[in-house]
């Protein structure tokens, strides 16, 4: 029997699948909050599989605490920067994640919501109205910008970036630029997206949306130099990972009107959101909720469970990032 430790409550859809399998012994952290490090190290002792979430830092210390019988880390997240992949590979531990069309769609929708919130100054006008400042309609009151016909720059042309491009190209006639480590021929064929260097994308785009994983090569991918390349009228949207953007440089750019605004769902030192960022009127902030829909989170739960069940059956998990 394989012992599975789940570090936090996840949607029932996946848990039901795991509980039905009699070859698995399930243990789960009882409290629906981030598990303290000391408790994590104690609870993983002797387990074969850890089902982790993105706030769990699964490194050599955790793997040592679990013991040499640890065979799998099933991450309940698309990103995997919280797991030491090199250490897992060295130990022959399989690591999986939970990508899927439902997650891509949910994040793409969230980005579109953020774009409209920025362009139409939704947070600003909501605050304006709630504070009873509205004294009558005016031709130049709280003017926003048009999304239709503008240029969208997508940094990371994978599943989420592609989903975003398709919806905005078809619905709002946007010109799509994208940058990635390699060309996405399918994206180009379906949307007319144009592959270009990052600097060119930043100079031309009206909206820049980030969709890259957090890797050493993408840490502070957008810093002071890159922000200066953007138009003063342009907006930056980050739903990827916080450290992809140099947060201090972004705050400086916003405070000095180097760019028109930003929408931020992820932060460099989560869960901390800098006070300076929270105070800026030209910023929309959400608490890492880009994939927070019932459909997406259920799909992630099922994907995590499916990975574990495949491994338990002696098969290669569908979303394996490493191999034994």
At 122 the three-state DSSP class reads helix
In angstroms, rounded to a whole number, what is the distance separating the alpha carbons of residues 156 and 176? 12
Q: Identify whether 110 is a catalytic site residue.
A: no
User: Is residue 288 flagged as an active site residue?
Assistant: yes
Angle between helices 159-172 and 101-119 (to 10 degrees): 50
Task: Count the neighbouring beta carbons within 10 Å of the beta carbon of residue 189.
Answer: 9
Cα 163 to Cα 79: distance, rounded to the nearest angstrom: 17
Q: Mark whether 179 is an active-site residue.
A: no
Given the residues 43, 179, 288, 297, the one annotated as active site = 288
Query: Beta partners for 308?
Result: none
Residue tagged active-site, from 102, 241, 247, 297: 241
Q: Where are the alpha helices (DSSP H) in the chain?
A: 12-20, 37-43, 60-66, 85-91, 101-119, 122-130, 159-172, 185-191, 198-204, 224-229, 247-255, 275-279, 294-312
Q: Catalytic positions, please? A: 241, 270, 288
């Amino acid at each position: 029997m394989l012992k599975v430790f789940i570090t936090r409550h996840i949607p029932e859809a996946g848990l039901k699948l795991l509980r039905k399998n009699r070859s698995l012994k399930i243990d789960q952290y009882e409290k629906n909050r981030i598990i303290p490090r000391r408790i994590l190290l104690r609870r993983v002792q002797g387990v074969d599989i850890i089902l982790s979430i993105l706030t769990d830092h699964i490194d050599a210390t955790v793997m040592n605490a679990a013991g040499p019988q640890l065979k799998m880390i099933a991450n309940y997240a698309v990103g995997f920067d919280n797991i030491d992949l090199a250490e897992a590979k060295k130990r022959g531990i399989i690591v999986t994640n939970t990508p899927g069309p439902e997650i891509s769609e949910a994040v793409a929708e969230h980005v579109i919501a953020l774009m409209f919130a920025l362009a139409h100054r939704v947070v600003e006008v909501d605050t304006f109205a709630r504070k009873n400042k509205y004294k009558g309609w005016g031709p130049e009151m709280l003017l926003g910008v048009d999304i239709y016909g503008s240029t969208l720059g997508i940094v990371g042309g994978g599943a989420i970036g592609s989903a975003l491009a398709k919806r905005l190209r078809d619905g709002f006639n946007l010109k799509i630029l994208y940058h990635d480590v390699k060309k996405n021929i399918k994206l180009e064929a379906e949307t007319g997206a144009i592959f270009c260097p990052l600097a060119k994308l930043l100079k031309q785009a009206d909206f820049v949306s980030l969709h890259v994983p957090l890797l050493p090569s993408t840490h502070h991918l957008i810093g002071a130099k890159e922000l200066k390349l953007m138009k003063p009228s342009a907006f930056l949207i980050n739903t990827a990972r916080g450290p992809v953007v140099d947060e201090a440089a972004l705050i400086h750019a916003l405070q000095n009107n180097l760019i028109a605004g930003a929408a931020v769902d992820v932060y460099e030192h989560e869960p901390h959101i800098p006070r300076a960022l929270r105070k800026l009127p030209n910023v929309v902030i959400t608490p890492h909720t880009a994939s927070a829909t019932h459909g997406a989170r259920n799909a992630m739960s099922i994907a995590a469970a499916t990975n574990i069940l495949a491994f338990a059956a002696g098969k290669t998990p569908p979303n394996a990032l490493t191999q034994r």
